[in-house]
Amino acid sequence: MYVLAARPSVGKSALAGNLALNVAKTGKMPICVFSLEMSTDEYVQRFLSRESGIENNFLETGNVSDSQWQPLSVAIAQLSEQQIFINDESCPSLNEIRSQVIAVEFDPSKPDLSRVIAKTHHHNFSEYGCKVIQLTVQEIARLGFLGFPRRPDYLHASPVCANFSQAHTAKAGKGIETADDLSAAIAVAKAIRQLQPRVFTLENVPRYQNSQSFAIILDALEQEGYSVDYSVVNMADFGLPQARRRLVLVASRGFRVALPTRRKPIGWYKAIAHLIPSMIDSQLLPKQRQAVEQFLTTNEPTPLLIQKVGGRNGMKYKPGHLPCNTILRSHFTDHKGCNRSRFADIWLPDGTVKSLSIEGAAILQGFPSWYEWPKETATAGSINRLFCASQFCRAVIYSHTETIIRSIFMTNREQLA
């Protein structure tokens, strides 16, 4: 630990802010600043002044000339790309500082899996101050969200989707909605009303948008004055090397939000090529070999990702330049819930066949490469499959950073005008 001490008004906060900004920019690392004196708005103004070369007093008064808007816009865009998080709550305790990210994880229909998921997330994120609570959102709501910060920057909800997914739906287009689904939605609505997040997002299967549960959450957002944007999107359009259709909602209050900018799709081979040499060797099943032969009759040789489990129309495969097919939990387990030791194979033009590893599947799902997985294939596959693509979540959060910075600056300008 380094302690920087000096008399008042000699630049301690400015130096600390510059250190944080330099580490974020040069080290490409997320930085959290806990400020007991300066507000978030004041820190943002100082960062903008430094990056744009515009004196801070112009930003404080909002007296920005036409010629200064161009460098200011560039500075805002550059800052929006940095992972800098500022907490300006007065006198936080050490426990509060270490508990700024809270995750709620428990599905009573899968208690054992929920406990393993919580344990795995704790193993990966506890050192970053993330606290995992093993309760249902309904139980958290009954406790009045005790220990949760009010007015958080970000609140995300991914209600249990099993009753709305195509695999669990008896009638096309209609979800089998249960009392648990409705009570979970009511708890999420209560969180919105009590916690008042700056940004709220929700992710679920497409059919969730036709449910009463979704209507309950929408109603809460509208009553609290949030602007809302939601749509069914393909995650491959946002940089994920996997075709996966999901309902995504983004809401905020005080500034308009939108979904992230679409990106050029990334092929699965490019995403995991560096891992393939270390994957274990495999052999194609007869139906997999038939799929390769069928592909080569009309196409040039190229890497293929071939599932071990066939679909209704035969064995599914994807050429390397395309995003992979949607990853399903059934790829990792059989009908009895037992592990599939090998759930997909990679065929290379030189005839080499590799078995897709959990680490490779995780990258295709958008998990960071450093995430550590349980040894059991079925458990690791369930964690991989059940969670919203983290790469897409990061894109959602970072896409709003620039909007928030502009909102802070324009609000201060209007107040001082």
* Residue 107 belongs to a domain: no
Same domain, 187 and 287: no
Domain identity same for 313 and 359 = yes
Residues 255 and 141 in one domain: yes
Per-residue H/E/C for 143-188: CCCCCCCCCCCEEEECCCCHHHCHHHCCCCCCCCCCHHHHHHHHHH
* Domain identity same for 141 and 234: yes
The reply to whether 97 falls in a domain is no
Alpha-carbon span 222 to 305, nearest angstrom: 44
pTM for the model stands at 0.69
236 shares its domain with 380: no
The helix (H) or strand (E) run that includes residue 401 is helix 390-416
pLDDT at 173: 47
Q: At what angle do helices 111-125 and 377-386 cross, to 10 degrees?
A: 80
**pLDDT, tens digit, for every residue of 158-186?**
888 777 876 555 444 455 788 999 999 99
Among candidate residues 29, 60, 91, the one where a domain is terminated: 91
252 and 395 both lie in a single domain: yes
Contact 161, 204 (CB under 8 A): yes
Sign of the four-CA dihedral 205, 209, 213, 214: positive
Residues 296 and 182 in one domain: no
Is residue 412 in some structural domain? no
One domain, residues 393 and 248: yes
Name the CA radius of gyration of the chain, rounded. 24
Asked if residue 5 is part of any domain, the answer here is: no
Residue 249 binned pLDDT confidence (cut-offs 50, 70, 90): very high
- Count of domains in the chain? 3
Report CA torsion sign: 231, 235, 309, 377.
negative
Residue 271 confidence class, pLDDT cut points 50, 70, 90:
very high
Lowest mean per-residue pLDDT among 132-146, 170-184, 384-398:
384-398
Q: List the domain range (segments joined by +) for residue 64.
A: 12-91
* 340-368: burial string, b at 16+ Cβ within 10 Å, e else: beebbbbbeeeeebbbbbbbbbbbbbbbe
Residue 155 lies in a domain: yes
Residue 313, Cβ density class (10 Å: 0-12 exposed, 13-18 middle, ≥19 buried): exposed
SS3 259: coil
Query: Within a domain: residue 189?
Result: yes
List pLDDT tens digits, range 326-347: 876 555 555 555 555 567 899 9
Q: Which has the higher per-residue pLDDT, 90 or 4?
A: 4
Choose one of 91, 126, 160: the last residue of a domain.
Answer: 91
Q: Which residues of 281-310 are buried (b: 16+ CB within 10 A; e: fewer)?
A: ebebeeebeebbeebeeeeeebbbbbbbee
Regarding whether 352 and 380 lie in a shared domain, the answer is yes
Of 265-269, 318-322, 358-362, give the lowest mean pLDDT range.
358-362
pLDDT of residue 387: 63
Q: What is the pLDDT of residue 74?
A: 84
Q: What is the pLDDT of residues 34-82, one digit of tens each?
A: 777 787 778 888 888 888 888 887 777 777 787 888 888 888 877 777 7
CATH of the domain at 231: 3.40.50.150
Residue 277 and residue 376 in one domain? yes
Of all residues in the chain, the percent with pLDDT exceeding 70 is: 79
Residue 146 lies in a domain: yes
CB 259 within 8 A of CB 231: yes
Does one domain contain both 250 and 334?
no
Query: For residue 303, is pLDDT > 60?
Result: yes
Give the domain CATH number at 53.
3.40.50.300
Whole-angstrom CA distances from 120 to 19, 321, 369, 382 are: 33, 32, 15, 12
* Whether residue 394 sits in one domain with residue 379: no
Q: What is the pLDDT of residues 71-126, one digit of tens each?
A: 888 888 777 777 677 766 665 655 555 446 677 777 787 788 888 888 888 888 77
pLDDT score for 292: 93
109 within some domain? no
Q: Where are the beta strands (DSSP E) in 260-336?
A: 304-307, 317-319
- Order the strands of the 353-355 sheet from edge to edge: 317-319, 304-307, 344-347, 353-355
